[in-house]
Amino acid sequence: MAKGRVNPNHTLETQGITGLGTVYYNLREPDLIAQALCLGEGELGQGGTLLVSTGKFTGRSPNDKHIVKTDSVADKIWWDANRAMSPEGFDRLYDDMLAHMAGRDYFVQDLFGGADPAHKLDVRVVTELAWHSLFIRHLLRRPEAEDIDSFEPEFTIINSPSFRADPERHDCRSETVIALNFDRKLILIGGTEYAGENKKSVFTLLNYMLPEKGIMPMHCSANHAPGNPVDTAVFFGLSGTGKTTLSADPERVLIGDDEHGWSDRGTFNFEGGCYAKTINLSREAEPEIYETTQKFGTVIENMVYDPETKELDFEDDSLTPNMRCAYPLDYISNASPTALGGHPKNIIMLTCDAFGVLPPIARLTPAQAMYHFLSGFTSKVAGTERGVTEPQPTFSTCFGAPFMPRRPEEYGALLREKIAKHGATCWLVNTGWTGGAYGTGSRMPIKATRALLTAALDGSLEDAPFRKDKNFGFEVPTHVKASAVPDILLDPRRTWDDAAAYDRQAAKLVQMFAENFAQYEEHIDDDVKAIAIREAASA
């Protein structure tokens, strides 16, 4: 039985998926919330939000993601970072998952990734959970109602959390599985209720497909100046560096907070919504994001709340520090209605340096930008994971290694080519610690970070005096006019009580960079290699 609006020529049955119970096609938010509540998947929160828990898995399972190793992709995939699955294992997984799904009700959303019509990817998402259908309806982009009648999916995602994979039979690692088959145009997800797997699987698809069209896929947020899409900025960064927070600038137009493409036409958002962290979220610091946590249809994920009033506790991370909310992009008042921008005028690479070494902002040459893009540095701090007692470096190449099917150098070369062609200015911004490492120093003041970004984006920082950093070779401003940023903050060595201790910490971090970057030296240009050699010599 089918319910909802669907192209009759492209139902699940016409795809060979038969024997299911009721299939709900393209339900809208009120009906999806009603279904989720009826099925006991969550509770109704303040303002009509949906309060859900993802159970055992409160984050992605990158070690359980597999790419099917067929002849067409075998020579294109970065197998050092992507687990292979045999075509035979995938076929058995598909057959067993369909057998498991028989007689059960499922929810279907016909959506697309990519705001630029010339480069969009039509995706059908089949979910066991109604709230997953609501989540992905927020996070991907929705066709117009009349376009549903002619919708033909290019890829199909099937997500059945109650299914458990058999590692021996299905050629996977555990009972949890995310399997991408580019030949069969299928993605299978089982054994996890974490909704983020749905959206990141589409990002992985685009990361594989777009480079062949000369389009740079980016794990970044983006915004542009009011009334001036030509003045676009993109913000690369790993979790916890401030990617969502800093791009949601009330003085600029938000293009998107997480995934974008850079084509010959400019910048475009892949998504139709935002998936924001809510730990320690406050109305004062991030009013727009805070307000979404009380808006109809927002999915509130893994947050502690009062059982009677449904009031959210933004400080209680007993379920997970990775508590989040998912909402449509138009819930942010200054969001772009088109989700399109120009070629980036400024490229910001965000890092959270818990070692207290990096300056709050530095200007990068194109070669240095590629070096730091391939490095993808941030750091874990004590208390975030069991056994972490001091800052630990995290290098996630291209600021998103788990989502990169191809070798990092391919993305790096594409980024560098576009920087050279369109003349973008690149900046490294540290939102981490100053005056000492984590536990001794203090977090970089958010007001100072915003002031420096404003100066970078409006062009006034270009006129500042700069010094050359002796550890990394990039340029650091020594004074910023018309800002409240003290000069001492711009020189991290001066913020430490013990300058010699800073020097030792800096040498340690430089060595970490050099050791990590050694894996790329066979595949990079000579000028980037020169930076790597200088880093190694300095270490």
In terms of domains, do 354 and 291 share one? no
Residue 382 sits in the same domain as residue 470: yes
Instruction: Say if residue 243 carries a ligand binding annotation.
Output: yes
Number of residues that this document lists for the chain? 539
245 a known binding residue? yes
Residues 318 and 357 in one domain: no
Residue 304 and residue 298: Cα distance in Å, rounded? 16
Is 124 annotated in some ligand binding site? no
Catalytic residue, from 124, 132, 252, 324: name it: 324
Is residue 44 annotated as involved in ligand binding?
no
249 is in an annotated binding site: no
Q: How many domains does the chain have?
A: 3
Q: Which two tokens stand for residue 336?
A: 């772009």
pLDDT in tens, 333-389: 999 999 999 999 999 999 999 999 999 999 999 999 999 999 999 987 544 444 445
> What is the spatial distance between Cα 431 and Cα 243, in angstroms, rounded to a whole number?
10
Is residue 372 part of the annotated active site? The answer reads no
User: How, if at all, do strands 324-328 and 312-313 pair?
Assistant: unpaired
What residues make up the domain containing 294?
274-331
Sign of the torsion formed by the C-alpha atoms of 261, 267, 270 and 273: positive
Question: Given 257, 258, 353, 469, which residue is catalytic?
Answer: 258
Q: What is the pLDDT of residue 383?
A: 40
Catalytic site includes residue 164:
no
Distance of CA 301 to the CA centre of its chain: 17
Both 312 and 402 in a single domain? no
Q: Binding residue per annotation — 197?
A: no
- Active-site option among 142, 243, 260, 406: 243
Report the C-alpha gap between 160 and 164 in whole angstroms.
9
How far is Cα 316 from Cα 305, in angstroms, rounded to an integer? Answer: 9
Q: Catalytic one among 65, 119, 219, 345?
A: 219
Same domain for 321 and 204: no
DSSP H helical segments within 304-392, as ranges? Answer: 366-375
Looking at the domain assignment, is residue 267 inside a domain?
Answer: no
The pLDDT tens digits of the residues spanning 158-194 come to 999 999 999 999 999 999 999 999 999 999 999 999 9
Residue 234 lies inside a defined structural domain of this protein: no
pTM beyond 0.85, yes or no: yes
CATH assignment of the domain containing 313: 2.170.8.10
- Classify residue 121: in a domain, yes or no: yes
Residue 206 and residue 302 in one domain: no
DSSP percent split of the chain into helix, strand, coil, nearest 5: 35, 25, 40
Both tokens assigned to 118: 């010339």
CATH number of the domain encompassing residue 367: 3.90.228.20
302 plus 377 within the same structural domain: no
Q: Are strands 442-443 and 433-434 parallel, antiparallel or unpaired?
A: antiparallel
- Catalytic member of 65, 120, 199, 200: 200
Q: Give mean pLDDT, residues 450-458.
A: 95
Q: Is residue 232 part of a domain?
A: no
| Chain centroid, CA 87 distance in Å | 28
Catalytic residue among 239, 454, 460, 538: 239
| The last residue of a domain, from among 213, 230, 251 | 213
Determine if residue 442 is labeled as part of a ligand binding site. Answer: no
Digit-coded pLDDT (tens) for 78-116: 999 999 999 999 999 999 999 999 999 999 999 999 999
Annotation says 258 is catalytic:
yes
In a domain, 244, yes or no: no
Identity at 189, one-letter amino acid code: I
Find how far residue 475's CA is from the centre of its chain: 28
Residue 268 lies in a domain: no
Among residues 331, 351, 370, the one where a domain terminates is 331
Catalytic pick among 244, 351, 394, 425: 244
Per the CB < 8 A criterion, the answer to whether 137 and 32 are in contact is yes
Q: Each residue of 39-58: pLDDT tens digit? A: 999 999 999 999 999 999 99
Do 308 and 204 share a domain, yes or no? no
* 322 and 449 inside one domain: no
Q: Report yes or no on 486 lying in a domain.
A: yes
Please check whether residues 354 and 501 belong to one and the same domain.
Answer: yes
Q: Is 491 a catalytic residue?
A: no
Which two tokens mark 299?
């999915």
- CATH number of the structural domain spanning residue 57: 3.40.449.10
Rounded Cα gap, residues 451 and 475, in angstroms = 18
Residue 192 designated active-site:
no
For the question of residue 213 being annotated catalytic, the response is no
Contact criterion met (CB below 8 Å) for 104 and 84:
no
- pLDDT (tens digit per residue) in 323-339: 999 999 999 999 999 99
Would you call 389 exposed, middle or buried from its count of C-beta atoms within 10 A (0-12, 13-18, 19+)? exposed
Contact indicator for 95, 232 with CB cutoff of 8 Å: no
Identify whether residues 102 and 133 lie together within a single domain. Answer: yes
According to the annotation, is 324 in a ligand binding site?
yes
Q: Is 70 a catalytic residue?
A: no
- Domain stop point among 213, 234, 254: 213
Confirm whether 422 is a catalytic residue.
no
Residue pLDDT, tens place only, 398-448 = 999 999 999 999 999 999 999 999 999 999 999 999 999 999 999 999 999
460's CB contacts (< 8 A; 6+ apart) are: 480, 481, 482
Mapped to the 3 state alphabet, what secondary structure does 421-474 carry?
HHCCEEEEEECCEECCCCCCCEECCHHHHHHHHHHHHCCHHHHCCEEECCCCCC
**278 belongs to an annotated ligand binding site:** no
Catalytic pick among 49, 54, 58, 60? 60
343 is in an annotated binding site: no
User: Any binding-site annotation on 219?
Assistant: yes
Closest CA to 423 of 475, 370, 365: 365
367, part of any domain: yes
Whether residues 373 and 304 fall in one domain:
no
